[in-house]
Amino acid sequence: MKYTYSPRGVCSREMEIEMDGDIIKSVKIVGGCAGNTVGVSRLVEGMHIDEAIKRMKGIPCGNKGTSCPDQLAIALEQIKNKQN
């Protein structure tokens, strides 16, 4: 199933997440620092949703109080809540 999330407080503008049950099939992050967002996207592919949330939740970017990985974790939490 595909989901779209609009991150807040970061440079990226949109996150497109494809799930296969509880496994992250793919992530595309539009905007933001390309090297970091592509890297994060590839690292979480094939990962269980709970593990990805655990690893990324609360990561800050500078003094923003959030980051693209943190916003991805928030998006995954919302997806998880919709699945239950």
| Confidence band of 83 (pLDDT split at 50, 70, 90) | confident
Q: How many CA atoms lie within 13 A of 5 on its CB side?
A: 25
Identity of residue 45: E
pLDDT digits (tens, 9 = 90+) for 19-61: 999 999 999 999 999 999 999 999 999 999 999 999 999 999 9
pTM, 2 dp: 0.95
**Domains of the chain from N-terminus onward:** 2-83 (3.90.1010)
Identity of residue 66: T
First vs last Cα of the chain: how many Å apart? 14
Mean pLDDT across the stretch 51-79?
96
